Amino acid sequence: MKIAAIQMPVGMDKRENLRTAAEFVRRAAEQGARIAVLPEMFFCPYTNEYFPQYAEEQGGPAFEAMAGMARQNSLTLVAGSMPERDGGRLYNTGFVFDPQGQVIARHRKVHLFDINVQGGQRFCESDVFTPGEDVTVFGADGHRFGLCICFDIRFPELFRRMALKGAEAIFVPAAFNMTTGPMHWELSFRMRAVDNQLFTVGAAPARDEQGCYVSYAHSIVCSPWGKVLAQAGTDPELLVAELDLSENERVRAQLPLLSARRPDVYEK
């Protein structure tokens, strides 16, 4: 299966960001991608100040634009994430649309990005967002896939749950920063791939050194063996990769990590 991780620029203009996303999705379809993945907060600057301003309810204009991207290009769209308003609460939410433009999954970021790195960055998503509570797995093209958002990748329990629910690849719209990205971005995607013997795909915004939040970028695709199959630089890029999903079972047969698990011991 051919997939595309979209590393796009994200500016202040919501409509322009949506137009940019639509053009990248169109190009992904032209190159034969069956699934396209947008970055975290792909139409919104990544700061607490702007999340409430850009937030929309499910079914709003941005939601309809994303549905249209999937429908017009006849592919499955993992639509990054957006600030979703639901009543009096905000969520960092990723929607998945099928080739007919229908929603087939919704993931609300479970682990909010609350960090205070000495000499680095302080950021508290929980000042604005409410955490989600679901393990998200969906079907597309006869296969099963997992979805989580950025900071969720740091929690192996969540990835293991998706793997046990049958995920063959896990998509991670993300926006690592320049404090954690250089050390932890590639390491995290390779390790979660090796832990669960499946493909991992990360889509990040392109880097803008003058922006209010500087993305590490480097969108990435890793194999079940932990090999980096494709990785972007820092500029806007359409990262296209072919996933041989049968590789999961070949790797698991050689190195039986999942079948050798001992839940009886772990749960004591």
The single residue of 84, 109, 125, 237 carrying the catalytic annotation is 109
249 included as an active-site residue: no
In sequence order, which residues have a C-beta less than 8 Å from that of residue 102 and are 6 or more positions away? 67
40 included as an active-site residue: yes
Residue with tokens 């990748």: 153
Least Cα distance to 162 among 126, 134, 121 occurs for 134
Range list of β-strands (E), 21-87: 35-37, 76-78, 82-86
The single residue of 44, 148, 150, 222 carrying the catalytic annotation is 150
227 included as an active-site residue: no
- In b/e form, how buried is each residue of 56-81, taking b as 16+ CB within 10 angstroms? beeeeebbebbbbbbbebebbbbbbb
- The whole-angstrom separation of Cα 132 and Cα 106 is 10
Q: Pull the structure tokens for residue 253.
A: 């047969």
Helix, strand, or coil (residue 157): helix
The single residue of 40, 56, 186, 237 carrying the catalytic annotation is 40
- The whole-angstrom separation of Cα 169 and Cα 144 is 7
**What count of other Cβ atoms lies within 10 Å of the Cβ of residue 216?**
22
Please report, to the nearest 10 degrees, the dihedral formed by the alpha carbons of residues 153, 169, 9, 130 taken in order.
-40
Residues with catalytic function: 40, 109, 150
